[in-house]
Amino acid sequence: MKTIKRYAISQETLEKWNRIFVPVLDFFYFRSKPEHFPSHKITEINQTAFTLDVRTSFLTWSIDKKAKFISVMSNEDFHALTTLEKEKIIAEQKALSRGLVFTEDELKDLLKNVNLPDTDYQLEILKQGASFQDIVILQKSNWDQVSKDVQHAILMNYADDWITEYALEPEIRESYQTRYPELYPYMDTFPEKNGPNCLAAVASAIRSSTDDIMCWMQVEPFFHLLEKNHYRHIVTSSVQATDVWVWFNEQDLAVHAAYLLSEKHAFNKHGQTMFNPWQVIQINELKKAWANFSCKIYRRV
């Protein structure tokens, strides 16, 4: 069992990450309409194409608002373009902050802790046909050519950058094993796929069942579940085990939730990607992480 900031990750989970980290098709973004290959206005493309895996890989939420056009392209079609066209595409993706685009120095950093004599050679494989100046894009065609050790090292170092808090001492997690036997196997571990979110984590704690912990739960069913289980919004300064804390944005839309395991710790998942672990987190750290939002307390009454 390996760890990332002390959160456990199995070899099996790493391999499942590996299969979805780099999509088969590239989503290329542009400020102006490309002349030599098909593209669409971003507003016109079928949104079903943007699966959670695609969004997570290409970091679609971070793409510059100047991007107006998109081209969905196979690796084969990309490599059939002229060198100049490929270089323009690569530079444009970097300029618009699309995911899976790295400088050579960033890739070298993601390759740290790989004890292989041919690390430089592996980097050259990633650069072949998918680089311009010091910019490299990861594609399925070059990703599948490097060794498993390199793939797993990149995944682990990449995931490390997503996480702010280190996992707490094992003794803290173990102290909740008897009280929360259903949640315990998930505490301070990573999911095998994108999708499981904070609401599903809280729902699992409320139900004492992890049947839905791998789901991407929506807000409406979540609040229905709170009501069904006799949770009510209360105004209090007290902290109590089994409370549910929900954070809201300025539009009064719920953006996050966590379940209190005790007066000191909560069961939490910061996002819906595979790089966000289920964690036992100190309540003070949880408050800091979501300090820019307003928090409401729901208690079973």
Say whether 301 sits in a helix, a strand or coil.
coil
Return the pLDDT at 296. 98
Q: pLDDT band for 36, please (50, 70, 90 cuts).
A: confident
Q: How far is CA 118 from CA 53, 108, 146, in A?
A: 30, 13, 11
User: Can you tell me which residue has the tokens 């808090």?
Assistant: 165
* Mean pLDDT value of segment 17-35: 96
Q: Global pTM?
A: 0.93
DSSP letters spanning 186-222: GTTB--SSS---HHHHHHHHHHT--TTTTS---HHHH
Lowest mean pLDDT among 33-37, 116-120, 270-274, 296-300: 116-120
Domains of the chain with CATH codes: 2-160 (no CATH), 170-300 (3.90.1720)
Task: Report the relative pairing of strands 7-9 and 2-4 from DSSP bridges.
Answer: antiparallel
* Mean pLDDT value of segment 213-231: 97
Q: Can you tell me the distance from the alpha carbon of 29 to that of 32, in angstroms, rounded to the nearest whole number?
A: 9
Tell me the per-residue pLDDT of 55-111, one tens digit each, with 9 for 90 and over: 999 999 999 999 999 999 999 999 999 999 999 999 999 999 999 999 999 998 998
Q: Using an 8 Å Cβ cutoff, are 198 and 258 in contact?
A: yes
Return the pLDDT at 116. 66
Q: Can you tell me the distance from the alpha carbon of 226 to that of 249, in angstroms, rounded to the nearest whole number?
A: 19
